[in-house]
Amino acid sequence: MTAASTILFDLDGTLVDTAPDLAGAMNHVLASLGRATLPVDRVRHLVGHGARALISRGLMDTGDARPDLVEPAMPLFLQHYAEHIADASRPFDGVERALDALAQRGCRLAICTNKPTGLARALVAALGWTGRFAAVIGADLAPAAKPDAAHVQATLAACAGDAARAAFVGDSATDAGAARNAGLPLLLVSFGYSDVPVAGLGADALIDHYDELVPALARLGLA
């Protein structure tokens, strides 16, 4: 029998549109500093490199990103975000149907995200997804964050996955780098938070809707 495949997913911008709640936390920080707030669509393309980078970019967009402002803003951002983690965050269309189909095919599913693990797991729970994923590994549980291969390898190890029978699904250059560094096939969604054109990131498959995911993985022999 062919070994079960393992499908690793990024979280923000790949499985879930978290931009509204991240924007809420970002704007909470900006308002506390007397700065102008940012529209959700602007924050959407600032996501993907962790909270510290998001705060820095938000500060840069509204004035300057002095280091003495970034660090004190971190706990304010994280507390607000934790308290409002799923107020408006929703799975992208077709996500749950695709996850169900992969599970029915015996695929092992896991999340590999630069989001802190506690926040990632809180979001998963708030969406009613507890039990869907064999592992949820944030950057804090890995030796190094994406795009380092160590993050992918740590996630595979946590869910007993085999790199020879695995693929990575993401939305950004960070995810593309992680997959390539770890030697995994790469699938990218076209509707995520990438700040560069995803068509130029060298994906093995680019999908415009989650209805396309299972067929794309099947063509790679992984579903």
pLDDT in tens, 93-149: 999 999 999 999 999 999 999 999 999 999 999 999 999 999 999 999 999 999 999
Q: What is the pLDDT of residue 34?
A: 92
Q: What is the pLDDT of residue 1?
A: 46
Note the pLDDT tens digit of each residue in 35-78.
Answer: 999 999 888 878 867 788 889 989 998 988 888 898 999 999 99
CATH code that applies to domain 6-17+90-219:
3.40.50.1000
H helical segments located in 105-138: 117-126
CATH of 19-83, one of 3.40.50.11290, 3.90.1580.10, 1.10.150.240, 3.40.50.300: 1.10.150.240
Domain residue spans of the chain: 6-17+90-219, 19-83
Q: What is the pLDDT of residue 2?
A: 62
Q: Strand 16-17 to strand 90-91: parallel, antiparallel, or no bridges (unpaired)?
A: antiparallel
98: enclosing H helix or E strand: helix 95-104
Q: What is the pLDDT of residue 126?
A: 98
Note the pLDDT tens digit of each residue in 188-199.
Answer: 999 999 989 999
Q: Which of 38-52, 80-94, 198-212 has the lowest mean pLDDT?
A: 38-52
19-83 shares the fold of 6-17+90-219 = no
Q: Which residues are catalytic?
A: 10
Rg over CA atoms, the chain: 17
Q: What is the pLDDT of residue 6?
A: 98
Residue type, 57: R
Residue type, 80: H
Average pLDDT over residues 19-36: 94
